[in-house]
């Protein structure tokens, strides 16, 4: 196989929360980058130097354009001649099973452009075996070239944590793998130019499963503290003080905190990939995942139950009450509302007849649920609300202002310390 000694042309398939940071970093590293996405609105924004995700700024997009090595496109023909192609497309669940349609489509799009010595890397989260059993056959379908013999293929799971101020694409260790040793070396060499540290695994299946383990670990531990929070409330114990006390142990314990549920592009989805494959392959249930799913999926309902009880103590019904939700995004300091438990809470409150207002300085208006009115966080709005429910603890919120209304606050994030605050 003839492999390019110094790959120059990189194609990134998918320009979302994973693909765009990778694209910008590859441009910074000196690559000529084709930023491909089927969403023409995204491509138009990028061509005008505008971003649409939290982790990449307008200035960074503009700087990439200024290099003349950043080429946003929705045209398949622009993929011709790539040295490395990286696929960063979504992998949602459909009826409890992995939906690989985006991966299949990406592989089919790339197949006519595969050439001797090139390298194709899958980053999308998926179940073990996808790279070699699904992705590779589609890449090989267009001609006689074969993975491992004529071109390289690998898997390198994304580890993007949107809005994380400490860990970004460059300084987060990158797991790398290949379908054969030469592919693994080529994949590692590519990412070594982009990140501070690469972590090779024995094969693609190990890399695929490592990603699922990372998020299953978080999912299960969040479910543990969420259920503990429910029990602690029933026993009159402050779960937050329990977690703080346990967190002083310097070994054998890692603190997790409760909340209104889990959201985003990973935790509500990735562990179910593992559970699905265990059922398919072994005919067994992955009990930890099933239990964690049950606990975390029902946390929004528990929050609504607590909100109802809070209003009842003031002799008020949910129906007809004004409920102000603070935060609709799934996580702090992010404008991402994908699978957000706050959105589920909002829907439940609307269905119960509440007048639902929401404060979120980071979310786009098109992500606000039907029946919810996005408002500014003002003293007048806070004072007029029968109940304030803190669902996302953005730093941009005026918490001192919210705290002045503590006796009408249900805080699911432990952002407020004022006496009288009803905490999860």
Catalytic site positions: 266
Q: How far apart are the two ends of the chain, measured CA to CA in Å?
A: 59
């Amino acid at each position: 196989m003839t492999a390019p000694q110094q790959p120059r042309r990189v194609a990134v398939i998918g320009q979302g929360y994973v693909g765009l940071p990778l694209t910008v970093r590859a441009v910074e590293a000196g690559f000529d980058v084709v930023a491909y996405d089927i969403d023409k609105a995204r491509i138009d924004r990028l061509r005008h130097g505008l971003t649409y995700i939290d982790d990449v700024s307008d200035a960074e997009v503009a700087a990439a354009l200024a290099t003349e090595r950043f080429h946003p496109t929705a045209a398949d023909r622009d993929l011709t001649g790539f040295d490395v192609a990286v696929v960063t497309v979504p992998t949602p669940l459909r009826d409890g099973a992995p939906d690989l349609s985006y991966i299949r489509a990406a592989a089919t799009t790339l197949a006519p452009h595969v050439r001797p010595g090139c390298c194709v890397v899958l980053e999308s989260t998926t179940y073990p075996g996808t790279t070699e059993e699904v992705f590779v056959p589609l890449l090989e379908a267009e001609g006689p070239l074969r993975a491992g013999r004529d071109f390289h293929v690998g898997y390198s799971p994304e580890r993007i944590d949107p809005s994380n101020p400490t860990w970004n694409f460059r300084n987060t260790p990158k797991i790398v793998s290949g379908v054969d040793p030469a592919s693994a070396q080529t994949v590692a060499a590519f990412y070594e130019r982009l990140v501070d540290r690469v972590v090779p695994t024995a094969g693609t299946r190990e890399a695929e499963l490592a990603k699922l383990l990372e998020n299953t670990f978080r999912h299960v531990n969040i479910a543990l503290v969420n259920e503990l929070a429910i029990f602690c409330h029933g026993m009159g114990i402050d779960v937050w003080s329990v977690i703080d006390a346990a967190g002083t142990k310097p070994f054998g314990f890692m603190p997790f905190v409760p909340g209104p549920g889990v959201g985003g592009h990973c935790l509500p989805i990735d562990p179910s990939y593992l559970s699905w494959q265990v059922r398919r392959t072994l005919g067994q249930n992955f009990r930890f995942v099933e239990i964690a799913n049950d606990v975390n999926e029902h946390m929004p309902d528990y929050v609504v139950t607590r909100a109802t009880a809070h209003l009842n103590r003031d002799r008020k019904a949910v129906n007809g009450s004004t409920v102000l939700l603070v935060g609709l995004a799934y996580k702090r300091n992010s404008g991402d509302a994908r699978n957000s438990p706050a959105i589920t809470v909002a829907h439940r409150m609307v269905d119960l007849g509440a007048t639902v207002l929401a404060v979120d300085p980071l979310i786009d208006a098109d992500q606000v649920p039907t029946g919810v009115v996005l408002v500014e966080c003002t003293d007048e709005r806070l004072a007029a609300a029968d109940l304030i429910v803190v669902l996302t603890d953005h730093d941009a919120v005026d918490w001192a202002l919210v705290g002045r209304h503590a006796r009408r606050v249900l805080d699911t994030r432990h952002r407020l310390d004022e006496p009288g605050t009803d905490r999860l």
